[in-house]
Structures are given as structure tokens and as C-alpha cells.
Structure 1
Amino acid sequence: MIKNNSFFSGARFYFLSLLLIICLAAGTSSFAASIGELNKDIAGGETSASEQKASSSALDSQAVKEKNKYEMGLLADLHICDTNLKAVNDVIAAINRMGVDSTAILGDSCKEIGTEKEFDLAVKTIRKLKGKIFAVTGNHDYIYADRKNGDKKVRASASVKKHKLERFREAFGQKSNYFAQKANGYLLIFLSADALDAKPLVTLSGGALKWLENTLSKNKEMPTIIFCHAPLENTFKAGEKLGMRGSSAQPADKLEDILKGNKQVFMWASGHVHIKPSGKHYNSSANLWKNQIRVIHNANINNSAKYFNTLTLTTEYVIVRTYDADKNSWLKKFERKVGHNGKFVTGDGKDDDEKDKDDEQEKDKDDDDEDRDKDDDEQDGNDNDDKDGNKDEPVDLKGIVTPGLGEVKVRDGAWGNVIGKLYSGKFVDIKSVEGDWYIIDYDGKKGYILKQAMVTNSGDNSKLKKMETTATVDVNPAYGLNVRDGAWGDKIGKLSDGAKIEIIGEDGDWYKIKYNGKTGFVYKAYVDVPKASAKRASDDKNKDDSPAKPAAAEAKNDDKDKSKDSDGNSKNQTAANGTKGFEKSGLLNVPERAQRAKENGPLGHSLCGPTSLAMAMEFYGVDKPTVKVAKETKTLSAGGGWQGTYCGNILTAAKNNGFKGSYQKENMTIDSLKAITESGRPVIANVNTQGYWGSGHYMVVTGVKDGKVYVNDPWQGGQRTYSFASFKAQWATRNERAIVVQP
């Protein structure tokens, strides 16, 4: 017994000694995180005033190396395109040689307006980085529509912006576009520009600001670095055209309130203003915001400038260094040690203020190249302030909730709390316009409805045209069809479902009818007009207006550039009707598939793109399992993980399966869909089917007839029809984008 007790006493002493050593090692710094915290991410999530979603971690937990330092690369304003691709690749190669732990992508990775082509190239290039990637958006990544007005960029609608933000999040495997990561005793916070209805180029949403405030309040003792596309106000000289508001992170006042209440934030890394090392404000006393936060400016990358910064996170300070990837050398004079108070840590006997003054005097000799670097954004900035303002609208603005859309949410502010719903066909008086929103009177309260959910009299300069025919009211029996005293006029009566009416004219979206011995107007979407009469009215309209391009001619032009292959050889342009051909109804007999079928597994709910392509290929006789097609479209990784679906990948998969003539096109029309499907070719349309809340979807268009668009919807696994107005409203959010599948 004595021997055993002696043994356990010795073991107990050994164990306690070992535990003491571990505890001492873990406590070398008051700022060091516990081992458990070291590997823990902070949850981030997109929120709105109405619904704050419980978000899981924004990134999968990573094992941070236990060492005395953590190294990061910083890349900003890559604007990746064919002309600067070599320069970007040179910079990425240099970072990979350094073996950094991670790289922060600080926004504006896309060349100009964030089209799918620009975005795909940016993601493909950035993925060449070997370490962990943390990415945030810049204005060029999400705020612009995929088209330009002449040479000017155009602001996208809220739903398109939300789609591009979601696309960005999915591409980089992040569960949110704002998130945090703990590394070597530091809290790293990543903030994307994500506001949907703001004028300044780089604006954080209310949800992001609230998340930031909450996250900082829970980590008061941890030194914090924030990564964002734009710098803090007044830490540089802004160009005259963009001004400080367009050049810095917004809303500046709310950011100031949050940051001043959290002194642990000591560094802010950003790009946006394209300041190179030769610029006066690349490293100057102006970079110290409110005597608290050191702003680290990062240069843009082009063929003549391949500069980037690195951060080395030690227990006492952060070392900032600048590297020239063109000369493969460090710029020694820009090496800085920044303490946890935002001040420089020096060894020359001078205090921080004295060193800053010396730096400022030295920099005064350099040219301030910031304004020249931002020339490409100046026009963008001016245009944006105009584009997001209220356009000229009729004084008496009226609208109808887009027919076929279903219910639309009414909010108490832009992306605010939901206070009610309106249903398709509801007629409303619009009181005012605010950005992407129409403001209405809803039960005595101020209600906000997204513009894309409404058809209005804005820009309706139509004239009354003669038309004589009888028709039938086709409306929900529970509501009936209102009769008005003019197009967009006041209500004078109501017609029941199935009522026969006599049409005597056509005025834009309205029919003029005989009503109770007088005349009235009814909305066209709820009237079933005989096909012959509709055609006759259309012919009359074309005589009155300028000649319209026939649908067949448009389809022919769509194919004009497809008549030869890459070697210049002529391709067969005869209609390929596929193995299934046409149904008696005149629609393409495309086989139906359901994306949520059991064989597609738990990720089936996200396989609309591959399912649509599988249906189109099976129409031609190529029958493949949907999951296999999903891997070919890169929707699923080789290991079965979900990666998102992009039009470019669907097109590539179609061509790899022998459909070499397939092509993708934007700004298409319903007339072109009609002509293409009538020539025997199915079309995969990229739409938004969830009431404009940013959810993308793919469907196969099988035909257009009798005022309706017919589709095979993979979500429900069957045929579905849309009115022209409803389909166009949902298609427009994706720039009328579609893929024509053909041999």
C-alpha cells in the first residue's frame, strides 16, 4: 500500500507540474487568446431590421498555428481583367512564395461592373492563393448593373445587388459577407460593403453595423484589426470629384460612434483610393484616425505597379511591410511597427508624434497620385449620386403589384420590418420614391415596396389605339377585376371572373371597354382575349408605331455569330428538334425532372441549374444523372460539397457534352424566347422567383404562346406558366440572361 501511494503521489506531482508549465506558456501575453479561443471564429450574418437570422460561423474553423507570429498578405483593388492578369498572377506568386498564413482580399476584385464573366475570372485567379483567403466586397464587385448607359456605369437594383453579394459569399465559402477570425491573440474583423440602397460607393448595411458593435462589445480585451474596402474618413486627401464621402467607408458618423467606444480597435486595412507607395498619404500622420486607429492604405495592382502589403502579428505589435513584386524586393522605408494603441513602436528615441512629423515632411516632397489613380471611379461616383436619387416620376404616380408574382412584403422602411403584404394585381397610389423603393400609404402608415415588384405609370406615354373584340375576365373569383375611368384612373366599378366584356380600344397595359352604358378601363393581364383579336391589335399597333423587329429575325441575329465554329467552318443551322420534338400543344416536349428528387440527396434543393441542363440535354437524347451533371457544372465539388451554380459553368458543361453551338446571352426578350423555342431549341432562363429577395433560380423555357411563358420548373418537377409581366419582372433581375442549348 505504501508503494502504491508513493507511486500515485509522484504521478500527481508530475501531472501538476506539467499543467503549471502549460498554464505559464499560455499566459505569456495579456492579449493572448486561450487555445480554445484561438481556433474559434466569430459568427457573422446578414440581418435586416425585420429579421435577424441566427448565423453560424462565417467561416469554417481553421487551425491557427501556435507560434509567436501570424502572417497575412493584403491585396486590394485587383480589378482583374485580361490586361492586368499577368501582374496579378505575379503578385499572387510572390505571396505564395512567402508562405503567409492567410491573405485578405480588400474588395474591387472585379474589373468594372461585376458581370458574371468578370466575377468568374476574378474568383478563378484569386483561388490560386495557397493560404487561407478572407474576402470582402468593393463597389465594383456588386453595386452596378451588368450593363452600361453609354460609357457610364449604372446602379443595379436592390435585388441584383443582393444576388451579387450572395454570389460573392458562395464563391469564397463564407457564411456571411461580414465575419471575424481570431489569430495569435488578435481579433480580425472583415466588413464587406453591403448596403442595398445607399448613395456612397462603400457603405455598410445596418445589419453589418449592429453585428460589428455586438462583436466588439464581446471582445473588449482583444486587440482588433478591421479589414474593409474603403478607409476611414480624413486619413488621406480625397479627390475633388468623389469627395471624402465617396472615398471613405460610410456611414462615417455611425462608424465613429462604434469605434470610439471600442479602443481595442487599433488598425484598419483598406484600399479603394488607389494610393501607391509614392503617394503622400501612403504612410503619413494623417493615417492615424482620432489618435486611435492606424489606417493602412493598400495600392491597386496594374502592369506598372505591383505593390502589396503584409502584416506580421506578434504579441506586442504588428509589423507592416510593403513588397514590390516587380523587383522582388521589400521597400525598407515603409516598414512600420504599429502598437496596440495605433501608434508606431520605435527604437530611435523619438516618440510617435515626432516620427510622424518627420514622415510627413519627407512625404511632402512626393507627388500625391491619389486623384490620378481614381480617375476611373470619378465618373462612377458622379453617376451614382444621380442614379440613386429619385428619377423624374409622374406627380400622380400609381402602380399595380406585378401580376403573377404572388404576395409582396410591405416594410416600415428600406429593408425594414415587415408590416404587411400586398397581392398580385393590387392597385396602389404611390406617395413618393426613395432609392429602390416606392412609398405607399398602408393602413394609415408609411409602407415601402421594392420597385421591381410594381408595374407603374412611370414613363407610360402610350396612346389609345382602336380595337374591337369581345373578351372574358380571367381573375381570382375572390377579388374580381376593377373598372377604372381611365388608364391608371379612379375605380368606378368591378367585374366578376368569367364576365364577358366588349373591348373598344387599347392603351398601353389597359383595355378600354364598354361599361354600364359608358366606358371604362381594365388591366390587360386579367383579360382573356381571343388570339386572332390580339394579333390584329398587335398588327395595328405596329402600323402606328415604328417598325418592330420580328421575333424570328431577332432569333436569327442571336445565332448570327454562332454560324461558324472556332475554325471558321460553317455549322448546320437547321432547327434541332431533339428526340422528343413538339407536343401537340406546340410546346417543346422537354423531359421533366425534380431537383429535390430523392436520388439527388440532401443538396438537391440547390441543384436547379444542373437539373435544368440535364432536362435540356435529355431532350436531345443525352441522359445523365442530375448529380453527375452537377459535378460537371461545378455546382458540386468532386467530393460532393456545394459550390454554387454560375451560368458560365452551365455553358461549359453543355459544350463538353457535345452541344458546341450553345451560347449565353443577356438582355434577351420574350419574343426571342418564342422564336428560339419554336425553332426546336430549349432555353435555360436565369430568373429570381422569390419575390425579389435575392434568390436565384434556373428553369427551362419550353415555349411561349397565348400570352404566357411555359417552363419546366425543376423546383416542383413539372410544367409551370407565367404571364408575360410576371416572367419579365423575375427575369429582369438577372438582366434577362439565358443559355440556349443546341448541338
Structure 2
Amino acid sequence: MIKNNSFFSGARFYFLSLLLIICLAAGTSSFAASIGELNKDIAGGETSASEQKASSSALDSQAVKEKNKYEMGLLADLHICDTNLKAVNDVIAAINRIGVDSTAILGDSCKEIGTEKEFDLAVKTIRKLKGKIFAVTGNHDYIYADRKNGDKKVRASASVKKHKLERFREAFGQKSNYFAQKANGYLLIFLSADALDAKPLVTLSGGALKWLENTLSKNKEMPTIIFCHAPLENTFKAGEKLGMRGSSAQPADKLEDILKGNKQVFMWASGHVHIKPSGKHYNSSANLWKNQIRVIHNANINNSAKYFNTLTLTTEYVIVRTYDADKNSWLKKFERKVGHNGKFVTGDGKDDDEKDKDDEQEKDKDDDDEDRDKDDDEQDGNDNDDKDGNKDEPVDLKGIVTPGLGEVKVRDGAWGNVIGKLYSGKFVDIKSVEGDWYIIDYDGKKGYILKQAMVTNSGDNSKLKKMETTATVDVNPAYGLNVRDGAWGDKIGKLSDGAKIEIIGEDGDWYKIKYNGKTGFVYKAYVDVPKASAKRASDDKNKDDSPAKPAAAEAKNDDKDKSKDSDGNSKNQTAANGTKGFEKSGLLNVPERAQRAKENGPLGHSLCGPTSLAMAMEFYGVDKPTVKVAKETKTLSAGGGWQGTYCGNILTAAKNNGFKGSYQKENMTIDSLKAITESGRPVIANVNTQGYWGSGHYMVVTGVKDGKVYVNDPWQGGQRTYSFASFKAQWATRNERAIVVQP
């Protein structure tokens, strides 16, 4: 038997070897093409290898190989707003006419502080580009709060920055804020400014640096180009106010260590410093970093300057060209070929050893207040002090670590060493103020906490408002809710999670309550207050396992004249099931909610699923606060931290609230949505709204008519409509998945 096995093993080996020889003889090109299909895109961030299932990168497509080059457009500092929208559209139109395989957006897409309005306009405009879009953040896109202190910008809290980074990533369908792609034999690395607690304007997080080092170490043989908002240090003339540190990518020392150990990196494309072609260092010997990496500066876009660069990636070098979209022509003198060593290819462009002819050019000017915002210069100055002007704030303050923020670092000085941490909901006495920091007593030592991480009693001039209602404590059971003798007062007791309280007044961020025969104050964020317009089902003495039914549903349907409209159609086809039925418009009268409403706190931007379920339940008469529903769907943990929303958890929460007949289904159709909503049942659709929600979004379908799908969109609240084609395109990415909410 052993001999026979050996014989067959040998025969099998011989047969396979012969087959391989035949395949090779048939042509190596097809074999190489098969191997090429095994190449993977390099995912960024925390994405695991098991998640990287994409086939060979689209950037290494057959079309690219056939033309032996890959074309990229570069756009930086668009600062999109109404006043420069035409200029940006002109540039985008020019890129589309030229025809590129992809465009890199190099940060500062938003005009000023990255509000939702600014961001929505930026994304809508950028999406006019044809071809693939790769985008990185700039300081205007994520580091500022959605408010100003007078005319000065205010740095956002860590949670707000995190939200804006997540928003940016999802809008452009990117797995991470740092990622890589392969194109025509090159490795393209995209690095967003993503640090949450750094002082310089453009700073990479520790996670980004670790990922960068790891990615480069695994791709030593691939010529590499890095795309980032800010240039490398000392590759240009720094702005007089920003200084070199504020004008270049940080941390410069750690970047230097990584890049010097990876000689395959030969080019760095960036914006931020607004150097136009007329600028001395737009194309000069100063652009060559450490005799290794060629920095390609990209001009900002405004009504008087519509310049952009393109890169042509060939097998031997990269061609850099500058285009003037105002004159619709190439600037020939800036065409250059950059070899894989960062040097100009001999005979093309300028040689690094040549005398710098740019000295004859006009000095770099940028007096356009649309794109170099004086607030940045003043606020983030040479040392980026980021002053917010609150010099007169009193030193006798009381504060609370912002609810929903999670943990906050305590340092031994402004941007000093971390000496500890405090958690959301922790009350502290603030001893003094130093710039952007509150100084507290931390374990007998002086501790520093960022202002943005705290809510204080500073400037709270609100007067006590009368209010009478009952409410429920909604807090982490492990900690309970402190009762104080006044707003920001001393602690006099504690309430447990689920405790019923009687509210008798409202004072700013506090509710005044009755407590042990006296009065006390509790922080609003941890109190679940019902809406005055409706009682909770739990307050109903005759509560059963079914959802509460609205008055319209309890009405008898034996009056035919009242139950039908002028055309004889039923107005309330499923009254027995507890629905409110159709309005005259032919749509379900589903109450509207906004996930980012103030009462939902700083994590409201991630509550589309719970908000959709809350709307569907309120349609049936079950009225619960969105934050409460978010805990039932496990979107928020018991302590208030965000965990994501899964369809299965939405379905479970619906059933736990009495909607036992609810179900989840995939591969549904618009016809099925029409039939279900016409029968009086709202549907929660799981979609991907054209890249705005790369990780998915939930909306409530209220009806289908006249070739459109009508939804209640929780993102901003209110009703939206989609054409069948648009809705199907978004829905298909989530396998046409939906949850039907019904008793």
C-alpha cells in the first residue's frame, strides 16, 4: 500500500508539473494577469486583513496597463463657499475635460470651520468630479467647533473632531482617514490630519504614524507618493504668522524618522500654504526634502487664481504639470519629470544643481481673504496658541466633563505629560484658567483639562423656569446620579438609574426636583423627560404587551362616509393594527425627528438607527426619547459611549417595545415598500446615501408614489424624496435590507 501511494503521489506530481509547463508555454501574459488579480488594495486604519477582500485595485486596471500611465488631478484648499463656488466649478470642469483616472483632494475643502452646511456644500461640489476621488482632511475640515468666539475660531472638543473625521471618511466612502492604493506600479498613500489633541494645525495621530511606518515597511520595492494637506518641513518659505511648525505636517521629527528609513518615498503632494505659480517656492530647489522627496505644492482656488496640478504616473517617472483653468491652458514652464529618487529627470525641467531661476519670480503673495483666513493666523500664530479670547473668565468655576465624551486626559501642563484621566459626568472645581485649559486639583497636584472637554457654569445667566412633570433617571447604574443643593452646587444625595423624580423647575443645564422633602438639582443629560404632548405607555395603568394605540386607531370604522376619501379609497386601512393611516397626501403620517437634536447630546450624529425606530414607534403611539431608544438598540452603551447600530438590534428593540410582528428582510423591492406603506406600516430602510454614509444610514419610508420614494430622514429631520433610480442605487449597497415595524 505504501508503494502504491508513493507511485500515485509521484504520478500526481509529474502530472501537475506537466500541466504547469503547458500553461507557461501557452503564454506568460495570461499567467501574469492571473497573478495580478491577486493584488489587494491596501486598506488603512484599523481594517483587518480579513476585511481586505477586494480584488486587484481598480487603479491597476487593464486600461491603465494598456496606456502605460495613470493620470491624477490635484486640488488643494478649495475653501468651498458661495463666493468662490464658480471658481471651484470652473476648475472641476477643467479636470473633467482633461480626463483623469482620479483626483486627490488635499484638504481644506470647507470654507472656514466645517459646519454641516459648509461640509454638505463641499461634498456636493466635489462629487461633480469624474473618476475616483481620494480625499484627506485639512484643518478647516475638522479641528474647529461649529461656533466662533467673536471673529475668532474655537478649537473643537475631541468628540466633535472625531465626529467630523468620521463624517469626512463616510462622505467619501473611505475605510479610514489614512489609506493606500496601488496605481500602475506606484503606491499612493493618503494621510489626513487626524490628531484629536494636537496643537499644530496639521498633525498626524499616533495611529496614522504607526500605520504609515508599517505600510511602507511592507512595500519597500514600490515607488511611493504621499498625499497630505501640509507640506514637509523646510520645503518652502513659511508664512510670517503661521511659522514653519504651523505650516508643515507634524510631528516633523517622527515623520523624518519614518521617511528617511523608506527611500522608496520620492514625492509628497500638499497644499495648506497657498503657494501660487508666481511664488518663489512653487517650484524650486527648496522643494527637495533631505535630498530624497520632491514636494509638489498646490495652489489654493479662488476667483482670481484657478491653478491646479496633474500627475502622470509612468513606469520610469512622474510628469508634473500645472493648468490655468481661467485661461484653459497649460503653464509649460512648470512641466517637470520627477524620477523615483525625487530628482528631476535630466534635461527636463530644472536640475537640482541648476541656479534657481525662480528668484526672478514675484514673491509669494496671498492677499485673498477668502482662502488665507486671518483668524487662522491670529488664533494659531507662530506657536499656534489658539486663543479664544476668554481672558476675563472667573477662576471660581464649577464644571462637568462633557456627557457622552468618554474619558478625558488630565495633563501636568498645557499639552504636557498625561497624569491621569476623568470620565464623562465627573464634576470638578476649576481653580484657574490658562489659555485653552482649565486648571484643577487632581490627586493633590495641578491638573490641566482642555476647555472644550468641559461644561461650566461660566456665563450661565439663565433664570429658573417653572416646570412641572415627572421623569426618570437614565444614568449608568454603576454610578448613579448626584443630587445637588443648586445648579453647580454641593452634593446632597444620589439617585439610582430608573428612579422616578418630580421636576418643579429648570435652570440652564439643570432640573430642579423634589428630593426627600426638600429641593435639589440634577444634571439634565441624565434625566429622561417625556414630551408634554403625550404620556408614556409605561404610565398607562392598563398597559399590556401591545403598543399603545392612537385615538385615530381606536375609532370605529363602521362609518363608511368618514373612513373613505372622495375617491372611495380607504383613509385608514389597518386601524385594527394600531396605525394612524394615510394622510390625504397618500403618505404615512410618521412623526419627524432629528438625530442631531440638542437633547441627543454630542453623539447624536451616530443615532440614525435609534432615531428611525423612535419615529416608527411614535407613529403607533409609543413615544420614547431617542437616547433611551439608542440604549435599547445598543447603539449607546449603558455609560453613554457609541457602539454602532445593527439591524438585528433595531429589530430586537422593536419587539421588546411590543411590536412583536416586526421583521427584517433583504432583497426587497420598491413595489414591496409601496405595498407595505399603503397597508399602514412604516419601513426602516438601511441604505448608503451616495457616500455620505459609507458605513450605512437608516431612514423611515413613509410612502411610494408618483415615481418617488418618500422618507423621514433623521439626519436633519424632515421629509425627503428620492427618484426610484437614486433610492435603488443607495439601497442596493445594503442588499435592499429593511425592517418593517408592526404590532
TM-score, normalization by structure 2? 0.59
What do residues 512-533 of structure 1 show as CA deviations (whole Å, max 9, x unaligned)? 9999999998778889999999
Q: 1:637 to 1:40 in 2, by over 3 A?
A: farther
Structure 1: runs of 5 or more not aligned = none
What do residues 4-34 of structure 1 show as CA deviations (whole Å, max 9, x unaligned)? 9999999999999999999999999999999
Residue 154 of structure 2: aligned partner: 154
For residues 475 and 641 of structure 1, the distance between their equivalents in structure 2, rounded to whole angstroms, comes to 12
Q: Which moved more, 1:59-68 or 1:361-370?
A: 361-370
**Structure 2 counterparts to residues 595-614 of structure 1, below 5 A:** 608=608, 612=612
Q: 1:654 to 1:451 in 2, by over 3 A?
A: farther
Residue 311 of structure 2: aligned partner: 311
Q: 1:285 to 1:697 in 2, by over 3 A?
A: same
Contact 1:273/1:373 (<8 A) preserved: no
For residues 208 and 11 of structure 2, the distance between their equivalents in structure 1, rounded to whole angstroms, comes to 52
Q: Which moved more, 1:131-140 or 1:48-57?
A: 48-57
Q: 1:447 to 1:87 in 2, by over 3 A?
A: same
Contact 1:288/1:295 (<8 A) preserved: yes
Q: 1:562 to 1:50 in 2, by over 3 A?
A: farther
Q: Which moved more, 1:408-417 or 1:233-242?
A: 408-417
Q: Which moved more, 1:38-47 or 1:205-214?
A: 38-47
Contact 1:81/1:118 (<8 A) preserved: yes
For residues 493 and 642 of structure 1, the distance between their equivalents in structure 2, rounded to whole angstroms, comes to 29
Contact 1:41/1:182 (<8 A) preserved: yes
Q: Which moved more, 1:280-289 or 1:243-252?
A: 243-252
3-state SS of the aligned residue for 1:727? Answer: helix
Q: 1:92 to 1:434 in 2, by over 3 A?
A: same
Q: 1:232 to 1:587 in 2, by over 3 A?
A: same
Q: 1:69 to 1:363 in 2, by over 3 A?
A: farther
Q: 1:233 to 1:390 in 2, by over 3 A?
A: farther
For residues 641 and 128 of structure 1, the distance between their equivalents in structure 2, rounded to whole angstroms, comes to 36
For residues 736 and 387 of structure 1, the distance between their equivalents in structure 2, rounded to whole angstroms, comes to 49
For residues 524 and 725 of structure 1, the distance between their equivalents in structure 2, rounded to whole angstroms, comes to 44
Q: Which moved more, 1:720-729 or 1:36-45?
A: 720-729
For residues 59 and 172 of structure 1, the distance between their equivalents in structure 2, rounded to whole angstroms, comes to 17
Contact 1:193/1:229 (<8 A) preserved: yes
Q: Which moved more, 1:348-357 or 1:96-105?
A: 348-357
Aligned-residue RMSD, C-alpha: 14.2
Q: Which moved more, 1:214-223 or 1:461-470?
A: 461-470
Q: Which moved more, 1:706-715 or 1:68-77?
A: 706-715
**Deviation (angstroms), 1:347:** 2.1
Q: 1:145 to 1:481 in 2, by over 3 A?
A: closer
For residues 615 and 219 of structure 2, the distance between their equivalents in structure 1, rounded to whole angstroms, comes to 51
3-state SS of the aligned residue for 1:246? Answer: helix
Q: 1:554 to 1:492 in 2, by over 3 A?
A: farther
Contact 1:238/1:371 (<8 A) preserved: no
What do residues 130-181 of structure 1 show as CA deviations (whole Å, max 9, x unaligned)? 2221111112222223333333333222222222222221221111121111
Does 2:100 correspond to 1:74? no
**Structure 2 counterparts to residues 653-692 of structure 1, below 5 A:** none
What do residues 322-350 of structure 1 show as CA deviations (whole Å, max 9, x unaligned)? 11122222211111111112111122899
**Deviation (angstroms), 1:227:** 0.7
Q: 1:397 to 1:129 in 2, by over 3 A?
A: same
Q: Which moved more, 1:483-492 or 1:527-536?
A: 527-536
Q: Which moved more, 1:278-287 or 1:234-243?
A: 234-243
**Deviation (angstroms), 1:221:** 1.9
What do residues 610-633 of structure 1 show as CA deviations (whole Å, max 9, x unaligned)? 974994999699999999999999
**Deviation (angstroms), 1:212:** 0.9
For residues 9 and 686 of structure 1, the distance between their equivalents in structure 2, rounded to whole angstroms, comes to 53
What do residues 436-480 of structure 1 show as CA deviations (whole Å, max 9, x unaligned)? 998988999999988777654455678999999999999999867
Q: 1:150 to 1:723 in 2, by over 3 A?
A: farther
TM-score, normalization by structure 1? 0.59
For residues 555 and 201 of structure 1, the distance between their equivalents in structure 2, rounded to whole angstroms, comes to 62
**Deviation (angstroms), 1:719:** 20
**Deviation (angstroms), 1:231:** 1.0
Contact 1:587/1:703 (<8 A) preserved: yes
Contact 2:464/2:507 (<8 A) preserved: yes
Contact 2:160/2:602 (<8 A) preserved: no
What do residues 251-309 of structure 1 show as CA deviations (whole Å, max 9, x unaligned)? 22221221122221111111111111111111111111122111111111222222111
3-state SS of the aligned residue for 1:579? Answer: coil
Q: Which moved more, 1:381-390 or 1:17-26?
A: 17-26
**Deviation (angstroms), 1:117:** 2.5
3-state SS of the aligned residue for 1:29? Answer: helix
What do residues 572-592 of structure 1 show as CA deviations (whole Å, max 9, x unaligned)? 999999996999999999569
Residue 547 of structure 2: aligned partner: 547
What do residues 232-259 of structure 1 show as CA deviations (whole Å, max 9, x unaligned)? 1121112212222222112222212211
3-state SS of the aligned residue for 1:639? Answer: coil
Contact 1:50/1:415 (<8 A) preserved: no
For residues 707 and 505 of structure 1, the distance between their equivalents in structure 2, rounded to whole angstroms, comes to 50
Q: 1:689 to 1:30 in 2, by over 3 A?
A: closer
Contact 1:39/1:183 (<8 A) preserved: no
Q: Which moved more, 1:344-353 or 1:298-307?
A: 344-353
Q: 1:194 to 1:341 in 2, by over 3 A?
A: same
Q: Which moved more, 1:540-549 or 1:68-77?
A: 540-549
**Deviation (angstroms), 1:738:** 24
3-state SS of the aligned residue for 1:603? Answer: helix
Q: 1:149 to 1:428 in 2, by over 3 A?
A: closer
What do residues 350-406 of structure 1 show as CA deviations (whole Å, max 9, x unaligned)? 963125467778989999999989898666758973347997776565544667999
3-state SS of the aligned residue for 1:642? Answer: coil
3-state SS of the aligned residue for 1:59? Answer: helix
For residues 653 and 496 of structure 1, the distance between their equivalents in structure 2, rounded to whole angstroms, comes to 23
**Deviation (angstroms), 1:225:** 0.8
Q: Which moved more, 1:186-195 or 1:60-69?
A: 60-69
Structure 2: runs of 5 or more not aligned = none
The size of the alignment, in residue pairs, is 743
Q: Sequence identity, in percent?
A: 100
Contact 2:142/2:165 (<8 A) preserved: yes
